[in-house]
Amino acid sequence: MSDRIIDSATRSAQVAEYLPLVQRIAQRLLVRLPPSVDLGDLVQAGLMGLLDALEQKEGSANDAAFQSYAAIRIRGAMLDELREQDWLPRRARQREQKIAKGMARLEQRLGRAVSEEELAEDLGWTLKEYQEALRDGGGQLLYLEDLSSDNESFVAQHLRDDGEDLPEILSAQHFQRDLEHAIARLPERERLVMALYYQEDLTLREIGKVLDLTESRVSQILRQAVLRLRSSLIDWREEA
């Protein structure tokens, strides 16, 4: 038996050993993505990340350090696949941008956080249409650790306009302080949902049970909070 065949057999055994890790990461991402995203596609992308990790490993692949490294590569490969798919429809992106800009304009005029009803009326939508727009964009809501890659932060991932680069804003001296202030100004329920999701690591379903809300409604509230922060970012950029 040649070394090449032995290496192939060893690699197959390693892939089989870490396949459950790939599947766990894929399932964790999938519950926060639209129904159009296929679990099998995530697993296939994750396997490519695992193979890359195995190519780089030194010594035994059984240690905890390698598993942590492999998880990063696996998750990164899945996120790359999601970005390539561009699974949020253009119409949903356009409506989100309209909401964010409308929210910034209305809150600047009123000097306070606006309600869903006020914003829907200002946009010329019914409340149902507004909440549907939030629902359609809710698939962008992923855990902070899952969205971040390399040096990209929550802000770069969640708050930028489609295709926009924010290096100057992210490095500005007062940006972090202003963002913290914007979070503090969120309506209480939105601030609570964000804390439960990003800090307490609860799923949308778990948050719904805590607050006696449907999972869909929690997703809408969380998306609205993100868009409200985006509107604050728009104000910040105009003032910078």
Segments forming the whole domain that contains residue 60: 3-85
- Core vs surface per residue 53-66: b (16+ CB within 10 A) or e: bbeeeeeebeeeeb
Question: What pLDDT digit, counting tens, does each position of 48-57 carry?
Answer: 999 988 887 7
pLDDT band at 46 (very low <50, low <70, confident <90, very high): very high
Question: What pLDDT digit, counting tens, does each position of 145-157 carry?
Answer: 333 333 344 444 4
Domain end (from 70, 85, 100): 85
Q: Please indicate, yes or no, whether residues 96 and 204 belong to a single structural domain of this protein.
A: yes
Q: Please indicate, yes or no, whether residues 77 and 133 belong to a single structural domain of this protein.
A: no
Q: Please indicate, yes or no, whether residues 20 and 125 belong to a single structural domain of this protein.
A: no
pLDDT band at 210 (very low <50, low <70, confident <90, very high): very high
Across the chain, mean pLDDT equals: 75
Question: What pLDDT digit, counting tens, does each position of 2-33 carry?
Answer: 444 447 888 899 899 999 999 988 987 887 67
Centroid of chain to Cα 165: 17
Q: Please indicate, yes or no, whether residues 52 and 71 belong to a single structural domain of this protein.
A: yes
Domain end (from 85, 107, 132): 85
pTM of the model: 0.52
For every residue of 151-189, DSSP letters joined together read T--HHHHHTSPTT---HHHHHSTTHHHHHHHHHHTS-HH
Phi-psi label, residue 179: left if phi above 0, alpha if psi -120 to 50, beta otherwise: alpha
Most confident of 178-182, 197-201, 228-232: 228-232
Q: Please indicate, yes or no, whether residues 59 and 123 belong to a single structural domain of this protein.
A: no
pLDDT band at 162 (very low <50, low <70, confident <90, very high): very low
